[in-house]
Structure 1
Amino acid sequence: MEDSAFEIKDGIPFITKPNFRISRREFIKIAGLVGASTFLGLYKSEVIKVFAQAAKEGKKLVWIQGQSDSGCTISLLQAEHPDIYDAVIQLGVQIPFQQTIMVPSGEQAINTLETITPDILIVEGSIPVNGPGGWEAHACTIGERNGKPVTMEEWAKELAGKTTTAVVAFGSCSAFGGIPHGKDFTGKSPTNAKALHEVLGSDYRTGAGLPVINMPGCPGHPDWLLIVLAAALLGIIPKLDDRGRPVEFFSNKIHDNCARRGWYDKGSFAKDLTETDMIHENCLWKMGCKGPETLSACAEYKWNGGINVCMNAGAPCIGCMHPDFPDNPTSPFYVEIEKIPTFLGIDTNTAGKAMVGATAVGIAAHAVRRGVTKHYKPPEEE
């Protein structure tokens, strides 16, 4: 029988060997039993150990940015657990290239990209490729070779082609194209922007035989990235859905676990933006909330250290993690979506008059899910 490094008490794993060297099996067990934010909160020292192991093994992480506003970089830098980021630096995990925060520039920086063999490659931002105009790829370039600009498309293919372990598309722009991929009045992306997996092709695999891991979000969630990075450094890749997203974070509609879900079932909807505060006890569906259309664990794990999420702050979800963001069905942002969830058979215009039985079934189903995840917190009564 395996001598485990942790034991379960009241459904929570507790470390029983403070100085143990975390193994792949232990990591999977612990991360699988608790959520991403909970894992980081309870076991950030163990995650640090993972980075320490990676440092000893000389693991190299490269982070390149295409068409982006650096929002995903800032998201990570502003994460609730900065000591983990500090540990990455202090423990010597090599991050030789990250455009926003690196010190080297010019030829020195480009030489790094040309000579390095990444273990982990993180791509932020979409990638423009040549279209009818024949110029679009040059909408985003990084450095020069022999006096000629090198396109983001060239770097993405070159670096991904020599990455040994995992390639992560962090943020909606890299995962699915995002805002640069959005259609203009002609129905096309002005720069013919593409997602990373589109540029690399459906058959792409890393040296370890892994496809691109897509982690959408505008910005991407920092805690989720840290979990995936720690796992990847151990050679563990989370289970992915048919769009390459980790199912741990992208298996349920935001609507399913929203704190306002009960008001949806009651048929209580905000009529304008003056009624969106939680004190009014309204669902934001009619304000254009895209939670019913978007797969993400936002409502369960929240942001800013698990403190808040868009809907709780009075703003409807804009569907930033949806593969088609910012186009239909996520746009226009503040317009009621035409297609609504059908799993309860409740029309929002008549939800308050719906059969008690149907509503009860829905409430019971959500109660079971909440009991399992233990992430749901209903709005406090005034």
Structure 2
Amino acid sequence: MTQRNSPVEPGEAVPWFTSSTPSRERFTFDTVAGRYIVLNFLGSAADPTAARVLTDLLARRERFDDSHASYFGVSVDPQDRERQRVRNLLPGIRFFWDFDRAICNLYGVQQPTGAIRQMTYLLDPRLRVIAVLPVQPGGEGHIDAVLALLDAQDSFPPPAPAQAQAPVLVVPRIFEPALCQKLIDYYDHHGGFDSGYMIERDGKTVEVVKHDHKRRRDCALNDEKLSQACLHRITTRLLPEMLKAFQFHATRMERYLVACYDAKEGGHFRPHRDNTTKGTAHRRFAVSLFLNSGEYEGGYLRFPEFGQSLYSAPQGGAVVFSCSLLHEATAVTAGRRYMFLPFLYDEEGRRVRDENQQYLESSAEQ
């Protein structure tokens, strides 16, 4: 296991590990995905702050049922095992023995002095960080704060037979609301240009504008600080989910583009694919990142080859899909729908792009 100097940041997937528990010699942590996880670094159960956290936890143990949420405490003190200071309470409450500090090092809570930063990670069902909560001295109110955050998360729908759906990935919490607003403000300040789409004509890839097929306005993001903020979040928060879901290792991102579908203009994009010309053949995955979900009506993604289901994401979330899939952006019927719309590809895609530059007549991109 590697060592981190700081905790894993919100939005990022946490490292996986295997460790021992009071009841199992080898417990594989990533197998608990599919529920909310409270991962609490205690240090030692003999520590008064940790003891208060555990007392409050046991008073609310009904909140941890292994269906909606599970609690995992991490102890570095062998005496916790020898004296049985803590034990698993199933369902819902378990402890990891981390006597070699491997998990603590992995999660950035091991300090150079040898002390453990007492803190709690709240993880989503994909084992991505929702929040990191330091345990204040004394531990009073910590469990209440954790449960308040847990209460603020979406509940799970009851089990139901799966419906046919497109092979797409919906990932929440890629951009935080503040970054979404900065991108919207950037667009509103600079304005958007009429956006076309790419076709083949006389052996060249050219851009055409036809409002019956596409009505959208785009703004190229030329602010280096904002661009780097977007790239960092996509690299650390989205790409690991894509690798897990699609076994695709994206290494390059095409275009930093803020787009707006405006109901006043009938904003829409009829069914199309994103990589059918020589100038776009390198594209592998499209990312539709929603900047202001809930502030407009209509404006869904639809994949006609896979039925009539409509796709969206919460503010700051992304819908990711293969550029080969037929898809459309349905009309926005009220308000304005703001989006961040990059394409992702790999080194093989880079080779294709380099070879096909000769066919690209316009620098504009679909």
TM value normalised by structure 1: 0.26
**Going by fraction, where is strand more abundant, 1 or 2?**
2
Q: State which structure, 1 or 2, has the greater radius of gyration over its C-alpha atoms.
A: 2
Structure with more relative contact order (C-alpha pairs < 8 Å, separation 6 or more): 2
**Going by fraction, where is helix more abundant, 1 or 2?**
1
TM value normalised by structure 2: 0.27
